[in-house]
Structure 1
């Protein structure tokens, strides 16, 4: 399977005090450190996206004011596309939250 930008999920299997992944073996401490790095990266991504959402909402409002009397099909499609972008950003925020929660839970199970 081709993953976007060469990124692949890491699959972990716990065996005694060593965790095996498709990228090789690592200690529990190393796995926990990797999970912490992922949580930190997800937090940084969240901050960036949270900064984009208000700008996108402002863009939609400005676009609506600009084309308020237009009934042109392309205008309608454009506004729908902008709304879909905001919906997608909100979905990404929910996915980041779910990923952080899952990583934290897994890290807790590692001890």
Structure 2
């Protein structure tokens, strides 16, 4: 094999590897991450044990971006029940409250909603 043929073959392999990395990195996939939950309670409300400690967040986007995504940057998921009165209160985890990097989107949050029994302190 001549030297010029070897150089062309090596160049072809480098181009093929570069194309593989680019195409593989742009493939859209979905990944699930565990994100902690933080409750925002009204004044003098007792702590709530009924909320989940964490939720599963499914994020969709290019494989290359999801591969380097740190789940700690997504949350915590804040559940605000400060405007609620006492008794049964419905809560909902909202995707807009998460810090999702550009090019990625939240597909689902599990569990996304529920109810809690919120009783104010009588003091």
Q: Please tell me the TM-score bracket, short chain as reference.
A: under 0.3
**Computing the radius of gyration over CA atoms, which structure comes out larger, 1 or 2?**
2
Normalising by the residue count of structure 2, what TM-score does the alignment of the two structures yield?
0.25
TM-score for both structures, normalised by structure 1: 0.28
Higher share in strand: 2
Higher helix share: 1
